[in-house]
Amino acid sequence: MSNILIIKHGSLGDIAQASGAIQDISDNHKEEKIYLLTTLPYFNLFKTNPSITDVILDKRLSRFNLIYLYSLMRKIKKFNFSKVYDLQNSSRTAFYKKILFPNSKLDIWSSSETTLPKDKTKKEFDEKPVLERFDHQLKFSGLNTKFTMKPDFSWSCSNISEIKTKFNLDKYIILFPFCSPHLESKKWPYYNNLIKIIQEKYKNKYKIVVAPGPNEINEAKELEALCILNNEEALDISQLSSLIKDSSFVIANDTGPAHMSAHLNVRGLTLFGSHTTAHKVSIETENFKPIQVSDLKKLSPEKVFERLSVYL
């Protein structure tokens, strides 16, 4: 029995998207042990993934931190990995390849570079939708892919019955109006307006809730919605997955929870401006749909409610 390594550092949305590829890698290597190299925010989460034997922590310290780099490389080499699937495909993981397997080709290291189509440059290939890139990488590596194009993130869910009881959650619509401070272009500004419309139209049929991250709790207080926390702290990823999974509908900016929602197979909408396209980030599913506009400030709450009402 040999050992297989998958590399996936993050971010949250990327983790959800990679779930199908990870499952396919595991299914194609049933006789091997599957290890995953990831970062601290996802270390405990991946411990619960049934496709993975164990998880290796990468603190992602500076490459100039030679003591840490030596320690990490030494730890990885001890496993004598026969194959590496680099699903991060970053400059950092390309650097790891040069250290671990400096002369290796596709037979050892599967990445977007070692599986690059002959008629594409790396820049051109990276313009393709995320899931299509994963699917090409794995197929070119000789794997059968069944789940890569349809990731299932439900493995990440946990029991949140106590939280649901505390907040008396039955039918609820969950909003994700937040985004990283440096990505304000992803932010739709009319969530409070939409909340008022939903409450006017549906009365008390649905609760309107938000589940802020650790740095979003204060911002959540500005919304006319029920703020879901666990002992006054943000939900962890497993709890958030379950909250999304059990919801009646999700409305979100193009952020990690939107990608979680898409691959938890819930009904919902994600709102896109000009920063990218829903097609490129592979977020559209049978139940989860995008609204794509050139300027999010010009997308009215009435228009969003019109789309929402079709599903409810």
Q: How far is CA 207 from the centre of its chain?
A: 25
Find the range with the poorest average confidence among 24-28, 177-181, 196-200, 246-250: 177-181
pLDDT tier, 246 (very low <50, low <70, confident <90, very high otherwise): very high
Q: For residue 221, which phi and psi values (nearest 5 degrees)?
A: -65, -15
CA atoms 147, 148, 151, 154: torsion sign: positive
Q: For 216-225, how does the pLDDT look when each residue is reduced to its tens digit (9 = 90+)?
A: 999 999 999 9
**Half-sphere exposure of residue 203: CA atoms within 13 angstroms, side-chain side:** 1
- Domain 3-149, what architecture? 3-Layer(aba) Sandwich (3.40)
Which pLDDT score is estimated for 104? 87
Across the range 254-258, mean pLDDT stands at: 95
pLDDT tier, 1 (very low <50, low <70, confident <90, very high otherwise): confident
d(CA 216, CA 233): 11
Tell whether the model's pLDDT for residue 76 goes beyond 90: yes
Does 37 or 180 have the greater pLDDT score?
A: 37
Q: For 143-172, how does the pLDDT look when each residue is reduced to its tens digit (9 = 90+)?
A: 999 999 999 999 999 999 999 999 999 999
* Structural domain boundaries in the chain: 3-149, 162-311
Which pLDDT score is estimated for 119? 87
- Domain 162-311, what architecture? 3-Layer(aba) Sandwich (3.40)
Burial pattern 195-218, b for ≥16 Cβ within 10 A else e, equals bebbbeeeeeebbbbbbbbeebee
* CA neighbor of 159 nearest in space, from 227, 235, 234: 235
* CA neighbor of 1 nearest in space, from 38, 36, 35, 43: 35
Across the range 106-112, mean pLDDT stands at: 95
Query: Does the fold of domain 162-311 match that of domain 3-149?
Result: yes
What pairs with residue 226 in β-bridges?
A: 209
pLDDT tier, 122 (very low <50, low <70, confident <90, very high otherwise): confident
